[in-house]
Structure 1
Amino acid sequence: MSLRANRVSEQMKKELGEIISRKIKDPRIGFVTVTDVKVTGDLQQAVIYISVLGDEEQKQDTLKGLAKATGFIRAEIGQRIRLRKTPEISFEFDESIAYGNKIETLLKQIKED
């Protein structure tokens, strides 16, 4: 990833937290944490990694709500970050947190045995 793409992803991560928590009023969207943003080198695409508090149904509802608000979120990012073209955005769950928790649980089990 280029230095510029890295800077844009960090800026987007910062702005997205505020946009999602303050600007979007969709009741389907639960407590969301933006864990990472990956922007392509040409700044055309951005994948936003999120973690959501709640069960599987709440997570899926949140993803649907965010998908519906994609246009609004892109417009907000476009206003806040001065770019010639705002990247296309998509949301994905950050599985690394769940993976880390699973490893921690397994290590505790090994230690107890």
Structure 2
Amino acid sequence: MKPETAIIRIKNLRLRTFIGIKEDEIQNRQDVVVNIVIHYCAEKARNSDKVEDALNYRTITKRVIGLIENNRFSLLENLTNQVLAIASEHAWVEFASVEIDKPHALRFADSVSMELCYKK
């Protein structure tokens, strides 16, 4: 990792959406927990203190919230991939990973999660 690389971590973003293929999953919103890691070159932001020189994590988070809360998903893989597309779309992003947990998806387990990564 280069010294000018910054790492943004969006931790435990708790949202509700329709996710799954069983009838009760199609009819009822469920909790999901989203974790996003983004690496980008922050050399300009480190030296300027100007907002336009930094990657705006608030904008990214708002887009993720809109995607998840306003859509339906059958597969955790597809949901995770769509969030990863948002996290990695800016030209400055060198690496991104998204992990989404679906709490209580399996009996006797805290959650089931899916993680996908992007690397430039």
Between structures 1 and 2, the one with greater helix share: 1
What TM-score results when the alignment is normalised by the length of structure 2?
A: 0.29
Between structures 1 and 2, the one with greater strand share: 2
What TM-score results when the alignment is normalised by the length of structure 1?
A: 0.30
